[in-house]
Amino acid sequence: MAEESEDTNTKEPAEWFCLGTQTKREHIAAAILDRLDEVEVFCPRISQIKKTRAGKKRFVEAMFPGYIFAKFQFHAHSRQVVHSQGITRMVELGQRRIIPKHVVEDLKASLPEDVIEAPDLSILPGAQIEVITGSLKGLNGKVLAQMSAQNRIQILLDFLGREIKVSIAPDDVLLARDIN
Which residues have C-beta within 8 Å of that of residue 119, sequence separation ≥ 6?
none
Statement to judge: residues 96 and 157 lie in one domain: no
Using the predicted structure, report yes or no on whether residue 5 has a pLDDT greater than 70: no
pLDDT (mean) for 144-171: 86
DSSP label at 63?
S
pTM: 0.70
Question: What mean pLDDT comes out for the span 137-143?
Answer: 89
Q: What is the per-residue pLDDT across 13-28, written as a single tens digit (0 to 9) for each?
A: 999 999 999 999 999 9
pLDDT beyond 70 at 178: no
Q: Which residue has the higher pLDDT, 147 or 99?
A: 99
Q: How many domains does the chain have?
A: 2
Do 91 and 63 lie in a common domain? yes
Residues 103 and 139 in one domain: no
Model confidence at 177, in pLDDT bands (50, 70, 90)?
Answer: low
Residues 150 and 64 in one domain: no
Contact 123, 153 (CB under 8 A): yes
Q: Where a domain ends, among 117, 133, 154?
A: 117
Q: Are the C-beta atoms of 81 and 34 separated by less than 8 Å?
A: no
The C-alpha atoms of residue 99 and residue 91 are separated, in whole angstroms, by: 10
Q: E strands of 36-151, at which residues? A: 40-42, 45-52, 55-62, 67-72, 87-90, 98-99, 115-117, 128-131, 140-147
Task: Label residue 8 by pLDDT band (50, 70, 90).
Answer: very low
Q: Which domain holds residue 138?
A: 121-178
Domain co-membership, 111 together with 126: no
Mean pLDDT across the stretch 69-97? 93
What CA–CA distance (Å, rounded) separates 51 from 128? 15
Q: Judging by DSSP bridges, how do beta strands 152-159 and 162-168 pair with one another?
A: antiparallel
